[in-house]
A = this chain, B = another copy of it.
Amino acid sequence: MVLYLDGRRRYLTRVKRGSTLHTHKGYLAHDDLIGKAFGSPIQSSLGARFVALKPTLRDYLRKLARRTQVMYPKDMALLLVYANIGPGARVVEAGTGSGALTSLLAFYVKPEGRVYSYETHGEFLETARRNLERTGLLEFVTLKEGDVTQGIEETQVDAVVLDLATPWLVVPYAFKALKPSGAFASFSPTIEQVVKTVEVLNHHGFVDLETVECMTRRYQVERGRTRPETLAVAHTGYLTFGRKAVSQHGE
């Protein structure tokens, strides 16, 4: 359940009988939350008015993002739509990390599609597994300990999605794994990663290449005081896309 206080403060919590949520605006007894309809108001011990909301995918992403992730929901959203990933798609993803992007992909390929998520660090996989279980999305994901710069086992996939340090090393394996016309998508914080990746994509016959940056700006909206917020995240990373073309005589 999300306990929403205001634009800056929200608490994603798993309701457990006997537990208590402590906030600097007072505490809330979990027992009072049980059976509460989503959307209902809840008063804290200090009288602050919270609203009980149903957690969204983005609420989970917000939580995961506090840790290692640099990709933001804005980037994931663009990646999803630009790489044509939707219900039923089979997608290879690497690296898994805390499972934030994995969750988003699983949320959108379900119920028929599947995400094959590779991670070289076994300990990250355990964290990701727990996060995916919590969001109920684990059944749509195959978590794999492995290094996509050495190879990809799946074939005929609809998309290969990368958030790792050396995406250019994965391009040949992504080419083999993809269906013809399938989508390659990569997220990179630095411009040098982009340049190398685009060079290798061109070399391997990917077409429809595109590199794009997505920036968002939030607004304070209030009659007479409307303006963009002062501080913003000015850069997370660049997104690079391509699609697999094949030669006349097959691949």
A183 and B210 CA atoms in complex are apart in Å by: 32
How many chain A residues touch B (Cβ–Cβ < 8 Å)? 83
A104 and B238 CA atoms in complex are apart in Å by: 23
Q: Is A172 an interface residue (CB 8 A)?
A: no
A196 and B13 CA atoms in complex are apart in Å by: 33
Give the nearest-CB partner of A249 in chain B: B40
Contact at B191–A227, with CB atoms within 8 Å?
yes
| Known contacts A86-B107, A104-B81, A230 near B235 by CB under 8 Å | yes
A198 and B222 CA atoms in complex are apart in Å by: 8
Inter-chain contacts of A7 with B (CB < 8 A): 208-210
Contact at A215–B217, with CB atoms within 8 Å?
yes
Contact at B217–A235, with CB atoms within 8 Å?
yes
Give the nearest-CB partner of A208 in chain B: B4
Residues of A contacting B: mostly: mixed
Contact at B84–A87, with CB atoms within 8 Å?
no
Of A88, A191, A222, chain B has the most CB atoms within 10 Å of the CB of A191
Q: In A1-26, which residues have CB < 8 Å from any B CB? A: 4, 7, 10
In the assembled complex, how far is the CB of residue A71 from the closest CB belonging to chain B, in whole angstroms?
12
Partner of A74, one of B54, B214, B219, B229: B214
A227 and B190 CA atoms in complex are apart in Å by: 5
In the assembled complex, how far is the CB of residue A137 from the closest CB belonging to chain B, in whole angstroms?
10
Q: In A159-211, which residues have CB < 8 Å from any B CB? A: 179-181, 183, 189-192, 194-195, 198-199, 207-211
A215 and B231 CA atoms in complex are apart in Å by: 12
Inter-chain contacts of A224 with B (CB < 8 A): 190, 192
Partner of A41, one of B76, B218, B247: B247
Contact at B246–A219, with CB atoms within 8 Å?
no
| Known contacts A38-B181, A192-B223, A87 near B111 by CB under 8 Å | yes
A207 and B53 CA atoms in complex are apart in Å by: 9
Residues of A within 8 A of B (CB): 4, 7, 10, 37-41, 51-54, 56-58, 73-74, 76-78, 80-82, 84, 86-88, 104, 107-108, 110-112, 179-181, 183, 189-192, 194-195, 198-199, 207-219, 221-238, 240, 243-248
16 residue pairs of the A-B complex, CB under 8 angstroms, read: A4-B207, A39-B243, A52-B181, A53-B208, A53-B245, A57-B81, A58-B82, A77-B80, A78-B216, A87-B107, A190-B224, A192-B223, A209-B221, A213-B216, A229-B234, A231-B232
